[in-house]
Amino acid sequence: MNKSVLISGLIASLTLPLCSCRRQKETDRLPSTPETVSVSLPEVKDIVLAKSYPGNLLAISEIDVMCKVSGQVVNQNFTKGTMVKKGEVLYTIDPSAYRNKVTQAQAALATAKSAYEYAVDHYAAVKKALESDAVSKMEANQAESSMNQAEASVKNAQAALEEANRMLGYCSIVAPISGRIASGIFNTGSYIDGEGTPVKVTTIYDNSTMMAQFAIEDERYLDILNSREKRDSLDFDNVAVSFAEPLPHTYTAKITYLAPSLNEGTGTMRVTCNIENPYDELRQGMYVKVNFPYGTLKNAILVKDASICSDQLGKYIYTLNDSNRVVHTSVTLGELYQDSLRVISNGIAPGTRYITSAMLKVREGMTVKPDTIR
């Protein structure tokens, strides 16, 4: 047999399987049936632009309860962590020493009043005697001076009695506000020396309203000014808030304070908001995210944020043409809205269908079977 013919036959026999394999691989790349993908239409609506800022809750009022007397604690009338009402007695300090001071002050006042009554009568008698020259002018002046001194003694004795009663009242340490009370620093039987310098015995937190502070960027403040210029209605009385863990009830915040100046070091402005706590679920120190509104956008085009992909050229989404073929569509992104939707500033029209699932299985030009979702 001719060697050239033999070689040609061998080459042909080897080439046929290779071509067959190549054609098989190309066939494998093409789906036998169209891939089913979820497809949606963009939402188009007027939206309020907002950005989430982190903060921590503080009680609207936090008051240290002080002891202003010295003595032994005879009663502790509260349980830590419970609610107490304004005026409720929290501690009772042994009042015996202060009762004695009240008794002494009462006696001193009675003596001063008696002396004053005598001085008044004496001055009246001397003044009458002066009219008949029975006494000298000097004696009359001395009687008047004694009466004035006795009157001053009465006032001093009255002040001393009021002070003694005030100190006796401090033996009952009462809640200055209503709220949730912390643990007591002193227990029954402890001695407190608070007369010279008041001593802290516990703290009460008014949790009826919680406060959160956070800082916004200067550009956000400029956005607010621009929105006011356009007469946009930004609702600062019902601002959405969220917490690290879901709570049984939902809450909104009221913006109560925007700092009058920017922090030059950080370029931010401090903002304060109040959150009503009617169910007593919020606690001081809890983490909170405040969804702060700063502007509005008319006829915004919104797509699901999870449907947006990235490559070296930027952001894109997969859209479908009228033949259900996949189109790689570059888009310009705007703000995130309600944590799951993204504003599309440029790239698609309101009626454009876009793929929301199986993005890893589709590619440019593939024909798919759309499953439209809302």
Per-residue pLDDT tens, the chain, 374 aa: give them: 444 544 444 444 544 444 344 334 433 454 556 788 999 999 999 998 888 999 999 999 999 999 999 999 999 999 999 999 999 999 999 999 999 999 999 999 999 999 999 999 998 998 888 888 888 889 889 999 999 999 999 999 999 999 999 999 999 999 999 999 999 999 999 999 999 899 999 999 999 999 999 999 988 888 888 887 776 778 899 999 999 999 999 999 999 998 988 888 888 999 999 999 999 999 999 999 999 998 888 899 999 999 999 988 899 999 999 999 999 999 999 988 888 899 999 999 999 999 998 788 889 999 999 998 87
The pLDDT score that the predictor gives to residue 25 is 46
C-alpha to C-alpha distances, 11 to 4, 14, 331, 341, nearest whole angstrom: 11, 5, 52, 60
Strand bridging mode 368-372 / 35-40: parallel
Q: Taking a C-beta distance cutoff of 8 angstroms, is the pair 180, 205 a contact?
A: yes
CA distance 172 to 188: 13
* Tens digit of each residue's pLDDT (9 = 90 or more) over 16-31: 444 344 334 433 454 5
The pLDDT score that the predictor gives to residue 134 is 81
The pLDDT score that the predictor gives to residue 169 is 96
The pLDDT score that the predictor gives to residue 14 is 43
The phi, psi pair for 199, rounded to 5°, reads -115, 135
C-alpha to C-alpha distances, 92 to 81, 119, 204, 205, 277, nearest whole angstrom: 19, 43, 17, 21, 31
The pLDDT score that the predictor gives to residue 31 is 52
Q: Collapsing DSSP states into helix, strand and coil, what is residue 331?
A: coil
The pLDDT score that the predictor gives to residue 6 is 46
* C-alpha closest to that of 192 among 74, 72, 76, 65: 72
The pLDDT score that the predictor gives to residue 10 is 43
The pLDDT score that the predictor gives to residue 233 is 76
Strand bridging mode 70-76 / 191-193: antiparallel
Q: Taking a C-beta distance cutoff of 8 angstroms, is the pair 76, 184 a contact?
A: yes
CA distance 54 to 214: 6
